[in-house]
Chain A
Amino acid sequence: SSGLTQDPAVSVALGQTVTITCQGDGLRSMFVSWFQQKPGQAPMLLIYAKNKRPSGIPDRFSGSSSGDTASLTITGARAEDEADYYCNSRDSTGNHPVIFGAGTKVTVL
Chain B
Amino acid sequence: QVQLLESGPGLVKPSGTLSLTCAVSGDSISTDKWWSWVRQSPGKGLEWIGEIYHTGTTNYNPSLKSRVTISVDKSKTQFSLKLSSVTAADTAVYYCARDYGVYDLNVGYYYYMDVWGKGTTVTVSS
Contacts and interface: CB of A to CB of B under 8 A. Distances in A.
A100 B114 contact: no
A86 B106 CA distance: 26
Contacts of A44: 116
Interface stretch (B7-15, B44-52, B68-76, B78-86): B44-52
User: Chain B interface mostly helix, strand, loop or mixed?
Assistant: strand
The interface centre, meaning the residue of A48, A97, A102 with most chain B CB atoms within 10 A of its CB, is A97
A84 B45 CA distance: 9
A33 B112 contact: yes
Contacts of B108: 92
B102 interface: yes
Given A43-B116, A95-B62, A96-B62, A90 B45 contact: no
Interface residues of B, number: 26
Contact of B112 (A49, A86, A101): A49
Interface in B13-52: 36, 38, 45-48, 51
B114 A54 contact: yes
Interface residues on A, range: 20 to 34
Most buried by B among A90, A92, A101: A90
Contact of A88 (B51, B102, B113, B118): B113
Interface string A81-99: 0001010101010011111
23 contacts: A28-B107, A31-B107, A33-B113, A35-B113, A37-B46, A42-B118, A43-B38, A43-B46, A43-B113, A45-B113, A48-B110, A48-B112, A48-B114, A84-B45, A88-B113, A90-B111, A95-B62, A96-B61, A97-B51, A98-B48, A100-B45, A100-B46, A103-B46
Interface of A: 28, 30-31, 33, 35, 37, 42-45, 48-49, 54, 84, 86, 88, 90, 92, 95-103
Interface of B: 36, 38, 45-48, 51, 59, 61-62, 95, 99, 102, 104, 106-108, 110-114, 116-119
